[in-house]
Amino acid sequence: MQYSDAAIVARKLTVVRGKITALDHIDLKVASGKITGLVGPSGSGKTTLIRTIVGAQVITSGSLEVLGRPAGSKDLRKKIGYVAQTPAVYGDLTARQNLQYFASILGVPGNSVDRALDIVDLKPQAAQMVNSMSGGQQARVSLAVALLDDPPLLVLDEPTVGLDPVLRKSLWALFARLASEGRALLISSHVMDEAEKCSDLLLLRDGRVLNMSSKQELLERTETRTVHDAFLKLAEDRS
């Protein structure tokens, strides 16, 4: 795929952890203004790729550029919003207090707190203790923290795991809005029906890329109707 404004570009990226090759000479591009689904079973390399993108994993060989800079560069810290599977916020603080705390650490302007709360539609719950919130609201607080610096790239690791269908639908609508504003979103998931909501798909298996294309191109190439069926067909072709 060719993008004039690719947010992430990997070339022959290889990561070896101990005796395991977690990523094996992978090439990929993640576009700005789109939601790219990072999909694959457990052990496929999703977490390693995410760690490498955010600068927490040493690269064995190949290259990985994030927003035009080598992954791990110091100046990327405020340009990547990362949301882990477990909400990384304090339950004994309100949503606003959490954001104020992280804003002070990041050194961002005070008005960033209200802007982030507004983006994730949490202003009505700003004074509510996080540990009294629903799972979906807690996920939104974590996302608001990641948005404090207004980063051009968001990396979300299983952001809707454990949430009910209504909350998942609400969060995916928010993700679509964030992408429409020009941000690049890389969202990992092992749930194939969530992959259907992504415009682009990066499918991993055993540390290798099965597919990197738009969803439409994937379905046309595999002559299937669902991402689940497309993944199975590609996996069978590689085995």
Encoded tokens for 51: 């760690």
Q: Answer yes or no: is pLDDT of 232 > 80.
A: yes
Q: Answer yes or no: is pLDDT of 3 > 70.
A: no
CB atoms within 10 A of CB 151: 19
First to last CA, the chain: 24
Tell me what the mean pLDDT of segment 28-47 comes to: 93
pLDDT tens track for 67-126: 999 999 999 988 999 998 877 899 999 999 999 999 999 899 878 999 999 999 999 999
Q: Binning pLDDT at 50, 70 and 90, where does residue 239 land?
A: low
Give alpha helix (H) positions in 9-119. Answer: 46-53, 95-106, 111-119
Cβ(122)–Cβ(138) below 8 Å: no
Rounded to whole angstroms, what are the CA distances from 83 to 1, 51, 62, 80, 213?
Answer: 26, 12, 26, 10, 24
Q: Give CA–CA dist 176/77, Å, rounded.
A: 23
Provide the β-strand partners of residue 63: 11
Report CA 174 to chain centroid distance, whole Å. 13
Give alpha helix (H) positions in the chain. Answer: 46-53, 95-106, 111-119, 135-146, 165-180, 192-195, 215-222, 227-238
Provide CATH code, domain 1-79+155-239: 3.40.50.300
Q: Give CA–CA dist 108/34, Å, rounded.
A: 26
pLDDT tens track for 39-57: 998 889 999 999 999 999 9
Q: Where are the domains of the chain?
A: 1-79+155-239, 87-150
CA torsion angle for 79, 85, 88, 90 (degrees, to 10)? 150
- The pTM for the full model equals 0.91
Q: Give CA–CA dist 153/182, Å, rounded.
A: 9
Q: Answer yes or no: is pLDDT of 4 > 60.
A: no
Cβ(175)–Cβ(35) below 8 Å: yes
